[in-house]
Amino acid sequence: AQKITQTQPGMFVQEKEAVTLDCTYDTSDPSYGLFWYKQPSSGEMIFLIYQGSYDQQNATEGRYSLNFQKARKSANLVISASQLGDSAMYFCAMRINTPLVFGKGTRLSVIA
Amino acid sequence: DAGVIQSPRHEVTEMGQEVTLRCKPISGHNSLFWYRQTMMRGLELLIYFNNNVPIDDSGMPEDRFSAKMPNASFSTLKIQPSEPRDSAVYFCASSVRVLNYGYTFGSGTRLTVV
């Protein structure tokens, strides 16, 4: 069965610094997709970034990048130049031929 | 595009009452998902539909929960009778059946059963 693990329940980062949120996954299927979502205190789920298992390059979307290490089965989210508005829960998720399976999330707090 | 629309945003009901949550997916999306979010269990998939057909309802906690999708533009999740432990945020999401396509979530329904 597929599994997503986020080992950091909470993280703090100084404004304007970079931060890495960890995500490891487990699947035997060679074809899968990895996603990161942001959930601010208002509650909505916001899609941030996607990485396919066959993608040769790490995905980037503005200040977000995904550090994909396939052999280690990790898909860490890197947020550069943190802003106060980045304070939120962040969820890693994986999709195969099944619905998205989510990790437990990491709460990021950005400090001024 | 208005996105995935859920109603109501908040629902407070008494134990034993019937609760119906509603969802309108994005036009053109052929998959619809109901998730429940709690502090203890995180985001759990309850049920999902492809082309209006229920595919997997193994996440539905018990027979008190039921879901329907009578057409491509509407789905309901019903709890009858409701219990305090059903209190959670219920999300509806829609997508297309392509691996690299993410889900679009609705704003969620915060259910409180007292």
Q: For the segment B27-40, what is each residue's pLDDT rounded down to a tens digit?
A: 999 999 999 999 99
Q: What is the pLDDT of residues A9-55, one digit of tens each?
A: 999 999 999 999 999 999 999 999 999 999 999 999 999 999 999 99
Identify residue A65 by its one-letter amino acid code.
Answer: S
State the pLDDT at residue A99.
87
Residue A1's pLDDT band, with cuts at 50, 70 and 90, is low
Contacts of B24 (CB under 8 A, 6+ apart): B4, B5, B6, B73, B74, B75
On chain A, the residues whose CB falls within 8 A of the CB of B43 are 91, 102
Which residues of chain A neighbour B99 with C-beta distances below 8 Å? 31-33, 52, 95-97
Residues of A in contact with B33 (CB under 8 A): 99-100
**pLDDT tens sequence across B98-114:** 767 789 999 999 999 99
How far is the C-alpha of A102 from the C-alpha of A8, rounded, in Å?
14
Please check whether residue A32 touches B, CB under 8 A. Answer: yes
Specify the pLDDT at position B99: 66
Single out the residue of A106, A65, A70, A61 nearest to residue A88, CA to CA.
Answer: A106
Q: How many A/B residue pairs have CB atoms within 8 Å? A: 44
Closest among B53, B50, B19 to B36, alpha carbons compared: B19
Mean pLDDT for B60-85 is: 95
